[in-house]
Chain A
Amino acid sequence: MTTPTTTTSIAKPGFVSTRLTTPYWRAAEAGKLLLQECLECGHLQHYPRNLCTKCWSQDLQWKEAAGDASIWSFTVVGIPGHPAWGDEIPYILALVELVEGPRLMTNIVGCAPESVHCGQRVQLRPHRGARDNQTLLQFTPFTRDN
C-alpha cells in the first residue's frame, strides 16, 4: 500500500450517541465491547435499547463480551457508500456473530482482503484512526498470539 499523496477533504460523519448508549461508547474508548443482558429472560442483545427485544422487560444490565466472533458475512468495499471513506478502499466491512450470539457491523483489519471468508474466526481489536471521531470496535483474524 502506498500512502496517498492527497487526502480527502471530506470529514467523516460525527460521533453520535444517546444518553442510553453513552456507557457503550465509554467502554469502547477503553477497548471493551458491551452487550445488554435481560435479567428477566436472559436474552443478550446488541445494539443497546431501553427494553429487551424478546420479552420487553426493562430490567437490563451491561455485560462485557469476550471479543470472540466469527464472520457472518462481509464485503470488500470498492465504492464506499459515503465519500469520506474514499481514501480507505479497499476496506473490509463485515457482520460478525459474537460467541455470545448478537451480531454487529464492524471492519476486519490486519489482513489481506482476499484472505477473508464467511465463518472465519476473528477477535476484537479496538482502534481509533487519525480520521475517526471515536474508537471503533474492529476485529482481526484470530491468532494464538494476539
Chain B
Amino acid sequence: MKNHFSAEIIGVAELPPRRTTPGETTLEMIANVARLAMKDAGLIPRDIDGLVVGPQVGETPQHVPATVAEYLGLQPRYADIVDLGGATGAGMVWRAAAAIQSGMCETVLCVLANTRDPAVTPRSPNRNPIREFDVPYGGSGANQAYAMIAQQHMARFGTTPEQLACVPVKQRANAMLNKAAVFHGQPITTTDVLTSPIVMSPLRLLEVVMPCGGGAAVILTSARRAKDAPHPSVGLMGAGERVTHRALSQAPELTTSPIASAVADAYAMAGVGASDIDFLSIYDCYSIVVAMTVEDAGFCAKGEGGAWLEEHDFSIASRLPINPHGGQLATGQADLAGGMGHIVEAVHQLRGTAGERQIHSPKRALVTGNGATMSEEVALVLIGAEQ
C-alpha cells in the first residue's frame, strides 16, 4: 500500500459539540481547538507554517486566514480558506497535503469552528479585532494603513514625496502603450502628483489606486496538456507566500513587509536571484508598495527604494521594465480581481502576446500580490517557454 500523498496526519482535536456557546467568539473557539490539536501532534506553535480555515468566523468575509493567523500569532507560508460547506474539512485535508508536497510549507493546521448563540442576531456579529480596537479611533479603510507605512519609511530612510511620485508618473508613461488602461493617453508629471490633494498624509491622490470594476482569469493545466494549447505556455518556476497580520498594530515591522520572505522563498524554489529576473509585474496599489517591493525583492538595499525609483527606467526599453501595462495606478484594478492583472500581463509578455508594449524576448518575470495592509503576500517566478 502506497500513500498517493507524501504528507501525513499527526494530530487531531474536537471540541465537544454543544447546543449553545454563549459569550464565546469563533476566534476563541478556533484558538481552543487549534491548541488541543497542536498538543495532540506534540508540536509548538512555531512549528506550524501553514493554515487553512473556513468561512463564517463571526467576521468580515475577507482576510479570514490573516485574521485567524494574527489571533493565533502564526506567520504561515501557506494560508488558505476552503468554502465547500460540509465538504470543507475533507477538502482542507488534501489541499494541505498538496501544499506540503509542493514544498510551500511543512506543517499545516486545518481548523474550523462556529459559535451558536440564539440570543445573538445576526448569527455572525461583526466583532473582529479591527472593528473592536481600531474603528472607534476613526481608523478604517486601507488608505490610513498605507499612509502610516509610507510615513515611517520617510521618517526612517529620508524617502521623499518626489521619489514616490515617480511611480505613478513612470507607470502612466508605460500605459501610453496600453489602450485598455483607465488612464491611457493621460500622462502626468511629478508636479501633478505633488499638487494632487493629500488624501491621508503623506499620501496624495495620484499615488493611490482608483476604484474600478473588472475581472481577470488564469487557466492552468498539466504539462502534458499544455503542449496542445494554442499559445506558448508559461511555467511556474517558484512561489512563496507569507501572511503575518491583519491589523497594522500587529505587523511585525512597517518598513519591511512579508513580501521579503515570500520573494526569498520563490527565488529559492526557482533557483534564481534578483539578477535573473527580466521584468517586474508587481502589485502597486500605492506608490510606497512599489518602493518597498523593490527593496524587499533584492533590487536595492533596504531604505534605498526611493532613490532607486527616481533613477530607474520603468519602460519596456529598460534592462528591468516595471509594470509595462501601467500597473494598477495607471491601468486600474478591480479590488476583488485580487491582483490577477499582474499575472495576465506577465503571461502576455512571456509568451510574446503583449502587442506594441512587448518587451524584447523576456525569459523570467517576478510577479507579486499584496493583500490587506502589507499582510498577505505572494510572489511568483514565471518563465516563458523556450523560444
What is A's interface to B at a CB cutoff of 8 Å? 12-13, 15-21, 46-47, 49-56, 58, 72-82, 85, 88, 91, 93-95, 103-107, 113, 117-119, 132-134, 136, 138
| A119 close to B155 (CB less than 8 A) | yes
| B197 close to A136 (CB less than 8 A) | no
| B152 close to A54 (CB less than 8 A) | no
Chain B: how many interface residues by the 8 Å CB criterion?
A: 51
Give the CA-CA distance A20 to B21 in the complex, in Å: 13
Which among A21, A76, A133 is the interface contact of B136 at CB below 8 angstroms?
Answer: A133
| Chain A residue at minimum C-beta to C-beta distance from B25 | A18
| A81 close to B38 (CB less than 8 A) | no
Give the CA-CA distance A93 to B148 in the complex, in Å: 9
Which of B44, B131, B133 counts the most A-chain CB atoms under 10 A from its CB?
Answer: B133
Q: Is B138 an interface residue (CB 8 A)?
A: yes
How close is A15's CB to chain B, nearest CB, in angstroms? 7
Given A16-B131, A49-B71, A75-B144, CB of A93 within 8 Å of CB of B28? no
Give the CA-CA distance A133 to B137 in the complex, in Å: 11
Which among B45, B132, B144, B202 is the interface contact of A93 at CB below 8 angstroms?
Answer: B144
Residues in chain B near residue A105, CB distance under 8 A: 133-134, 137, 139, 247-249
Give the CA-CA distance A55 to B156 in the complex, in Å: 32
Given A95-B148, A118-B152, A119-B155, CB of A88 within 8 Å of CB of B138? yes
A-B contact pairs, 20 of them (CB 8 A): A16-B125, A18-B25, A18-B132, A47-B132, A49-B31, A51-B31, A54-B73, A56-B73, A58-B35, A75-B147, A76-B201, A77-B200, A81-B138, A81-B143, A82-B141, A94-B148, A104-B133, A105-B134, A105-B249, A117-B155
| A47 close to B129 (CB less than 8 A) | yes
Residues in chain B near residue A106, CB distance under 8 A: 137
Besides A73-B151, A117-B155, 9 other A-B contacts (C-beta < 8 A): A18-B132, A52-B73, A58-B35, A77-B200, A78-B201, A93-B144, A105-B133, A132-B136, A134-B136
Q: Which 8 A-B pairs have the closest CB atoms?
A: A53-B73, A81-B141, A81-B140, A19-B23, A75-B147, A118-B155, A73-B148, A73-B152
Residues in chain B near residue A19, CB distance under 8 A: 23-24
